[in-house]
Amino acid sequence: MKNRIKDLRKAAKMTQEDLAVQVGVSRQSIIAIESGKYNPSLELAYNISKVFDCIIEEVFILEEGGEE
């Protein structure tokens, strides 16, 4: 699953650590999500989208034909 976290975070002048603290995870978790190595839980995805005042679909992009 692709995401726009890095772009949204930079636009908000926010570090990975800032975002991690706001959503209650480690900085390493944010790094893994940004790089696409880890897909967040629905709850975490929701919390991340709330930080950026977006809906989940504006932050995370589900790729067609991906894993089922």
45 CB-contact burial (10 Å; exposed 0-12 / middle 13-18 / buried 19+) = buried
Contact 59, 4 (CB under 8 A): yes
pLDDT tier at 68, thresholds 50, 70, 90? very low
pTM over 0.75: yes
Q: Dump pLDDT digits (tens) for 2-54.
A: 999 999 999 999 999 999 999 999 999 999 999 999 999 999 999 999 999 99
Q: What phi and psi, each to the nearest 5 degrees, are found at residue 28? A: -60, -35
pLDDT tier at 64, thresholds 50, 70, 90? confident
Query: Domains of the chain, with CATH numbers?
Result: 2-61 (1.10.260.40)
Tokens 């692709």 label which residue? 2
